[in-house]
Amino acid sequence: MERRRVAVLLGGRSGEHEVSIVSARSVMAALDRERWEVVPIGITTRGEWLTPGETATALDAGARAFDGPAHPFLMSGEALEALASCDVAFPLVHGTYGEDGRLQGLLEMADIPYAGAGVAASAIGMDKALMKALFREAGIPVADYAVVRAWEVRDDADAARTYIEETIGYPCFVKPANGGSSVGITHVRSREDLGQAWAAAFAYDDKAVVETAIQGQEVECSVLGNEYPEVSIAGEIVPDRDFYDYDSKYSGASTTQLNIPAAIAPEVAERVRELALRMYQAMGCEGYARVDFFVANGTEVIANEVNTIPGFTSISMYPKLWEASGLPYRDLLTRILELAFERHERRVRP
């Protein structure tokens, strides 16, 4: 079989730069080398693209982050030529400039097939306010929420607080609309926490989403496919602290558990899986995505979010759910790349 060249894009400008490198390392180690020739392209925290040689050297030296050399994106000619020599791209850049449609738009411009969601679905998935509005419109249950802008709090913090207290109340969660890995998120229990919560959220975005706090289990599904997506069994996150924050996601000291399958009744798991497909299709996702829920009182299923570039190490929820559903990591990666070609071929119009 002829090997095809896959550009693995990793690093990037968001706060999830290091996480991306961890995901990409395990994807590159697992890709079926009989079918795929791997071309790693690192993106620095400033947005410069490294050549495959520079990237490999940095990875071999144990890099957790790419920080040089300095040439701006449009001057990254050699890296772009390497991309042009590839048959397909696998963007594994989490967060802004990677997961939010910008990188996907660039790959569309370049006419290179790529793994995962397209421009619009990526952009919606990155913006929790847009995503929730879309789910509500599609009749999918979401927590009550309100959207607050930084300037509203700056101009009249009392009015913004009153608005939140009259619409959402406490306890609530305050989040940057554009974020990920739980950065900038605060569990607000009372009025006293609100000032610090605004500051934390507005450090990342000038739009915040405030949501009713849901007490319950956190349940996730993996979805895979273009026009006829399939859904995995449901898994459960059991955080080792108040909520699933940055440290409980990534710290070596975290004792957060992934339970596969989720400890929920079969009919609740079916409801989760059905909603996961509806959310994926409402957003227009393609390729793959992880879909996250809350389950309150063991019965009520509430949508949380869709992640279009979820954590992708071999011990991450996305691939583990497929593994438990009978699809091994290596075959999952091949399937995701095949879906990229399939979508690209369908899009090409004379």
At 221, which amino acid appears?
A: C
CA 72: distance to chain centroid? 25
The distance of closest approach from Cβ of residue 143 to ligand ADP in the complex, given in angstroms and rounded to an integer, is: 4
243 Cβ neighbours under 8 A, 6+ residues apart: 173, 182, 185, 187
Burial class (CB in 10 A: 0-12, 13-18, 19+), 34: exposed
The distance of closest approach from Cβ of residue 307 to ligand ADP in the complex, given in angstroms and rounded to an integer, is: 7
Q: Is 168 helix (H, G, I), strand (E, B) or coil?
A: coil
The distance of closest approach from Cβ of residue 213 to ligand ADP in the complex, given in angstroms and rounded to an integer, is: 4
- The residues of the shown chain that bind ligand ADP, judged by CB under 6 A, are 143, 173, 175, 179-182, 185, 211, 213-214, 218, 239, 243-244, 292, 304-305
Output 100 or 292, the one with its CB closest to ligand ADP. 292
Question: For residue 304, which of 185, 179, 218 has the smallest C-alpha distance?
Answer: 218
Output 87 or 99, the one with its CB closest to ligand ADP. 99
The distance of closest approach from Cβ of residue 172 to ligand ADP in the complex, given in angstroms and rounded to an integer, is: 7
The distance of closest approach from Cβ of residue 20 to ligand ADP in the complex, given in angstroms and rounded to an integer, is: 15
Output 86 or 188, the one with its CB closest to ligand ADP. 188
Output 50 or 143, the one with its CB closest to ligand ADP. 143
Vertex 118: Cα angle to 51 and 92 (nearest 5): 40
The closest residue (CB) to ligand ADP is 244
The distance of closest approach from Cβ of residue 22 to ligand ADP in the complex, given in angstroms and rounded to an integer, is: 16
Q: What backbone phi and psi angles, to 5 degrees, belong to 124?
A: -65, -40
Which token pair is 87? Answer: 């048959």
Output 31 or 223, the one with its CB closest to ligand ADP. 223
Question: For residue 302, which of 80, 140, 79, 132 has the smallest C-alpha distance?
Answer: 140
Output the CA torsion sign for 329, 334, 340, 343.
negative
Find the largest Cα–Cα distance for the chain: 66
Output 80 or 238, the one with its CB closest to ligand ADP. 238
Instruction: Kindly give the pairing relationship between strand 4-11 and strand 88-91.
Output: parallel
Strand partners, 172: 188, 212
Output 97 or 173, the one with its CB closest to ligand ADP. 173
The distance of closest approach from Cβ of residue 92 to ligand ADP in the complex, given in angstroms and rounded to an integer, is: 17
